[in-house]
Structure 1
Amino acid sequence: MSLEPLALPTSPEQWSSWLAERGNGSVRLAADEIAALKTAHPGDTAILQLWNDASVALSNASAVSSLLSSVHPDPAVIEQAEALEVEVRRFTSDLLLDREVFALLSSVRPEPLDDGARRVLEDALRSFRRAGVELDDQTRDRLRELNERHTELSQAFSRNIRDGRRTARVPAEALVGLPEDYVADHQPDEDGMVAISTEYPDVHPFLTYSRDAEARRAVATEFFNLAWPENDQVLGDLLRLRREKAHLLGYSDWADFDAEVKMIGKGAAILEFVDQVAADARDAGLRDRDVLLARGAQDGIATVDLSNWRYCFEAVKREQYGVDAQEVRRYFDFGKVHQGLLDVTSRLFGIRYEPVAETTWHDEVTTYDVHLGGERIGRIHLDLHPRMRKYNHAAQFDLVSGVRERQLPEGVLVCNFNRGLMDHGEVVTLFHEFGHLLHHVLAGRHEWVRFSGVATEWDFVEAPSQMLEEWAWDAGVLQLFATDADGTPIPTELVAAMRAADEFGKGFLARTQMFYAALSYLLHVEVPDDLTARVFELYPQYSLIAPLEGTHFHTGFGHLDGYSSAYYTYMWSLVIAKDMFSAFDTDELFAEEVAHRYRDRVLTPGGSRDAAVLVADFLGRPYNTEAFSRWLNG
């Protein structure tokens, strides 16, 4: 059966009605499926099928609300999508507190079911229990209130970051050291001042290359005050709400509630993991900081802080490892990288991309159908450049969750890269995020929508993407698309130097990651009254980068919404990613047998099996920390 992609509006004025039909219409369809479920005879396996039908409809509504509120250029459509998101979450909250539906699902006997159906049933019943369906009426009513308020706060937190773009005005002379194309894009005004926004393509290069310490501090201060002061109150309310919800459900804190459905299992294990990695990285991190301090001293820098660590890092790599990032970026023209990414992943996973002339929400979006074995298995949309009101980080969004013989998976890659030359770090990020997109499409052929796409435990989802980054570090791979203006491929010697330079700072950067992870965990466990004060206490405990007085990192740290207490997952996933990559021969990164085995045993199964089982099936053994330890310790 050949499935057709989702038909998108062909003109801007159609988006509102389309969203109402696709989004709100899907919620109504879900309600119809639940109504039908309630007429089923107890014990009938049709109950599970109707549950799946309702879940498909809710997934469709949730996908378009999340995507369009993040990328659509029309404020009216964004507002409509946010209202739809409220409706979807309210419906889901009420559903998971519905004792009648819970009783009917509980009546289905698991013994006659196949493994997939049994897993879906167990997961559904666990979701009901974790929502509080078995609690008394008063508690359930309070949970409904909390769930609705949670949606409002979550939207406000993300909206304030998305719409909170700030700007620092610096002297034109502060652009000395910046790439030529950056300088050309930042012309001074009549007062000789240049505006540097808090968007990634503006702020990161400036903090990396500008030689003006005062200007770097001004830009960093704006960047680390994103969504301040609005999100200080919003985040405080969100943390208090999550604590109350966890207590009502019988958990000691939100982290314990959240960790129950992850590989790590319990909240306390998060801090144990974070502290262990922080301890393992301590000596190397301090050595790295000493190197940065020694280099910074040449420019009068006495402390490695948020305004200068990138500058010092770049100087060390340039002067001690012979890697000049501006020289490197000559080889990474966005158009060539874009096509190179498609060519590399096509060859690696045996898939084919077919360009599609599709009208989407913006004319810079590119669309491709994905084919495997002569069959179209999905569609992808690449929205890769910054614009006003757009989600300002990098992430993969669902548009459609694939369901076997019902709907074709479609995913959207949302990033904010320059339209000209890219830093190599941006190339690595593009490979990483594309890994999520491939996971979504390749795992989009399950009968049960619960297994579709990136549906594994949340502390595993980064591992496949982190592993795909390895291909962005290989000279032979890069030379397939990384060429300068004259067509000369990036030299093997330069890539070798880049890899050597990348070895520098691993301990330092690992400590930075553990600061983020400790912050996300401890704020949810402690729920301090003064968030800024607590964050500043955590800096010296975990990070080797000093904060800037008067900044408020937590208000712009978007992961405190989606990841909540579980930012540790990035490093947890990296442990697994390094082990999975050990199965590949670094001299033959396109070897078909191992690449296709990885595709079929880790990516394609989606959430149909536990992540540890998928990895063991691929490796032929349980995963371990040996490869990660070798990497961390050089």
Structure 2
Amino acid sequence: MTGLEPLHLPAPEHAADWLAERRTSLLGDVDRRVADLKAAPPGDPLATLRRWNDITLALSDLSAIGSVYAQVHPDQEVRTLADRVVQEASRVSTELSLDPELYAVFAALDPADLLDAGRRPAPVAHRLLERVLRDFRRSGVDRDEATRARLRELDSRQVDLGQQLSRTIRADVRSVRVTPAQLAGLPADWVAAHPAAADGLVTVTTDYPDAVPFFTFARDAAARRALRIEFLNRGWPDNDAVLQELFAVRREVAGLLGYADWPDYASEVMMIGTGEAIPAFIDRIADLALEPGRRDRAVLLDRLRRDVPGATSIDVADVAYYAELVRRERFDVDAQQVRHYFDVGKVRRGLLDVTGRLFGLTYLPVDPAEAQAWHPEVATYDVHRRLPGSDRPGERIGRIHLDLHPRDGKYKHAAQFTLAEGVRDRRLPEGVLVCNFPRGLMQHDEVVTLFHEFGHLVHHVLGGRSEWVRFSGVATEWDFVEAPSQLLEEWAWDPAVLATFATDEAGEPIPADLVERMRRAEDFGKGYHARTQMFYAALAYDLHAHEVPDLTARVEELQGRYSLFPYLAGTHFHCNFGHLDGYSSGYYTYAWSQVIAKDLFSAFDPDDLFEPTVAARYRDTILARGGEKDAADLAEDFLGRPSTFDAYAAWLAR
């Protein structure tokens, strides 16, 4: 990739014109290339796949930039235009996938003729042809014209509904108004950032930098409950109807394609393989987590009874607050004191140092005038491989953009977005980390989240050197995608690692014994957390597998079955569960990936997480391969054996 240039982004005020121009030029390029491919297919199968690679890259370019700008650009007009760009890219992709004439070009290829320049078999190209033919089949290209026409309509509607779901969640920032006295328990810097208005009341919003500290530290139970209800009701009632239609669209798609239901369709291309395996996996995790979850819930309830004598249950409005009290009183870990070691600027620099050392990378800051990101707070870095035996930067292999703080109209959670797919010798991978962290001190769980999401980003960059767009970056099966990110979380818990960047106002590093207590405190509650995750996973599966007339009632039912905390009356969590779009029926993948991540971590030396041989093997056998092999094979290549459930089960039980 030597000499490749990153994207030349427009100045924020020119973004709309730039998006419009890219839409016109890239769609025109796709039309020309498709027409040429159908009119005169190359005789060589490898040349045919490379022509398809060009088409795929142009569509990826259009979709990626549209997706990023739709979620992060500060101008509503630009976000709206970007949504339309994504819709058009999806429409064209659907049209191509349902084109029998185009399909015939690939169906006519003989895999035995897929040979490289030395006339040797080309296994990755062979894999690509298999995936291309599978994608065509899963789109319905072999159905009659009436069915294909209906599938086109349904695909377009599915994109529209997903965007509507996301827009509603982004826009629905709710709040409660409380007295200054009701801020008792909150950190001083948080209180200082929330002055009372002229009427003497303080506004607390459902955005994460407001809500997470409030749920964790505010002593006023009524205020915590009021904000939790508003938090759980974001997107209600509008998204209820949106989700009902989205589920109906997906059910119809699955039926038209001959699948039992949407989970069966979606899981065909995942490690789990079948839809019916999803509830079995969910129940397996739920059963493992039941005993430790009940044990820790009893501790929370005992602590609640000191404040509320006779209390018989504890619900989600109180869990975060009492879990924090338990960690403070039982484990001597005060999250407010811990915060003083995690200034967001130091954490960002530390994250780059840690991952640079681990993966042999150097991050060089890009001048904002050159980067021309969409907002002044975005920090841009070029990613370089380090020269062997040196800290000096070598070849540039990608560019990253860190958009870490909240603002109006921005995506509300934490995620990595692709800005450009990397292609060997043609295109630098570029990725965007989108988060909503405070601008001052962070809680440690926010530090863990940052490491997690950066795991996706570094996977995107290191995996962005394939010849084929289809296998570039984070292109593994969807239920493996989270494993590298969950693995990287472990470095945010290591005392020696944290001591390199977690320092207080006086510059003193976080004490190792405090980190060890934090780790023990973090283990508290993992059973009931796992049960909560299985509630989310069961909800995602169930709402896609069955027609449910009352979504809220099903939320209440499934929460009662899986979560160890009761449903909070009058709330509608599903309306702000944005993963119902992107992950659809597959939210189980977080737990599936965690099982694999615990196994991958067992290969590292806990006394030296930077041991270079293991780190390099992990980088090269898993991250750098993108989607060029099945995820199970990638894990086996690294571990030297098939992945097992053992490490996860041992972790959950201890």
Could you say which TM-score interval applies, normalised by the shorter chain?
over 0.9
In structure 1, give the amino acid aligned to 2:502: A
| CA distance in structure 1 between the aligned counterparts of 2:24 and 2:639, rounded to whole angstroms | 44
Compute the displacement of 1:50 (Å): 1.2
* Corresponding position of 1:36: 36
Aligned equivalent of 1:536, options 544, 547, 556? 556
Measured in 2, the distance between the counterparts of 1:275 and 1:179 equals 39
Which among 253, 256, 268 is matched to residue 264 of structure 2? Answer: 256
Match of 1:439 in 2: 459
**Are 1:165 and 1:226, in contact at CA under 8 Å, matched by a contact in 2?**
yes
The whole-number CA distance in structure 2 between the counterparts of 1:27 and 1:127 is 21
Deviation at 1:173, TM superposition (A): 1.3
SS in 2 for 1:111: helix
Runs of 4+ off more than 6 Å = none
Q: Which residue of 2 aligns with 1:337?
A: 347
What is the CA–CA distance in structure 1 between the aligned matches of 2:480 and 2:396, rounded to whole Å?
27
Q: Distance in 1 between matches of 2:561 and 2:132?
A: 40
Contact 1:43 1:109 in 2 (8 A): no
Residues of 2 paired with 1:137 and 1:149: CA distance? 18
Separation (CA, whole Å) in 1 of partners of 2:198 and 2:313 = 35
Partner of 1:521: 541
Q: Which residue of 1 aligns with 2:18?
A: 18
Partner of 1:499: 519
**One-letter amino acid of the structure 1 residue matched with residue 599 of structure 2:** D
Contact (CA 8 Å) 1:38, 1:101: kept in 2 or not?
yes
2:241 partner letter: Q
- Paired residues for 1:233-272 under 5 Å: 233-272=241-280
In the alignment, which residue of structure 1 is the partner of 2:401?
381
Q: Of residues 146, 149, 152 in structure 2, which corresponds to 1:141?
A: 149
Match of 2:479 among 445, 452, 459: 459
- Equivalents in 2 of 1:266, 1:499: separation in Å? 36
Check the 8 A contact 2:459/2:623 in 1, yes or no: yes
| Larger deviation, residues 162-171 vs 101-110 | 162-171
Q: CA deviation at 1:12?
A: 2.8
Q: Deviations over 1:134-163 (max 9, x none)?
A: 011111111111111111111101110111
**8 Å CA contact retained: 1:353, 1:369:** yes
Aligned position for 1:176: 184
Question: How do residues 414-425 of structure 1 correspond to structure 2 at under 5 angstroms?
Answer: 414-425=434-445
Root mean square deviation, CA, Å = 1.0
Aligned to 2:118: none
Q: Does structure 1 retain, via aligned residues, the 8 Å contact 2:422–2:461?
A: yes
Is structure 2 residue 369 aligned with structure 1 residue 369? no
Distance in 2 (CA, whole Å) between partners of 1:24 and 1:327 is 54
Shift of 1:469: 0.3
Measured after TM superposition, the shift of residue 42 of structure 1 is 7.0
Structure 1 residue 204 displacement after superposition: 1.0
Shift in CA distance, 464/191, structure 1 to aligned 2, threshold 3 Å: same
Query: What is the correspondence of 1:40-439 to structure 2 with a 5 Å cutoff?
Result: 40-41=40-41, 44-45=44-45, 46-113=47-114, 114-300=122-308, 302-357=312-367, 358-372=371-385, 373=387, 374-439=394-459
Shift of 1:20: 1.8
In structure 2, which of residues 472, 481, 489 is the aligned counterpart of residue 469 of structure 1?
489
Question: What secondary structure is seen at the aligned counterpart in 2 of 1:381?
Answer: strand
Higher alpha-carbon deviation: 184-193 or 415-424: 184-193
Q: Once the two structures are superposed, what CA deviation does each residue of 1:241-287 show, in whole Å capped at 9, x if it has no partner?
A: 10011001000100000000000000010000001110111111111
The answer (yes or no) to whether the contact 1:457–1:610 under 8 Å persists in 2 is yes
**In the aligned structure 2, how far is the partner of 1:62 from the partner of 1:23?**
9
Q: 1:616 offset after TM fit, Å? A: 0.4
Q: Which consecutive unaligned segments of at least 5 residues does structure 1 have?
A: none
Q: Aligned partner of 2:217: which letter?
A: Y
TM-score (normalised: structure 1) = 0.99
Contact 2:422 2:472 in 1 (8 A): yes
Give the aligned residue type for 2:131: D
- Please tell me the residue identity of whatever aligns with 1:296: L
Please tell me whether the aligned partners of residues 259 and 265 of structure 1 are also in contact (alpha carbons under 8 angstroms).
Answer: yes
Q: What do residues 3-56 of structure 1 show as CA deviations (whole Å, max 9, x unaligned)?
A: 0111111x3321112112234422221222111111224754232111110000
Residues 38, 319 of structure 1: alpha-carbon distance in 2 compared, 3 angstrom cutoff: same
Q: What is the alpha-carbon distance in structure 1 between the residues aligned to residue 621 and residue 229 of structure 2?
A: 46
Whether contact under 8 Å (2:405, 2:439) holds in the other structure is: yes
Give aligned-pair identity as a percent.
Answer: 58
Following TM superposition, by how much is the alpha carbon of 1:116 offset from its aligned partner in structure 2, in angstroms?
A: 1.3
Unpaired stretches in structure 2, ≥5 consecutive residues: 115-121, 388-393
Give the TM-score, by structure 2 length.
0.96
Alignment partners' CA distance in 2, 1:565 and 1:43: 41
Q: Distance in 1 between matches of 2:326 and 2:366?
A: 44
- 3-state DSSP class of the match of 1:154? helix
2:632 corresponding residue in structure 1: 612
Residue 590 of structure 2 is matched in structure 1 by 570
Partner SS for 1:413 = strand
Cα 1:590–1:41 shift into 2, 3 Å: closer
CA distance in 2, matches of 1:40, 1:408: 30
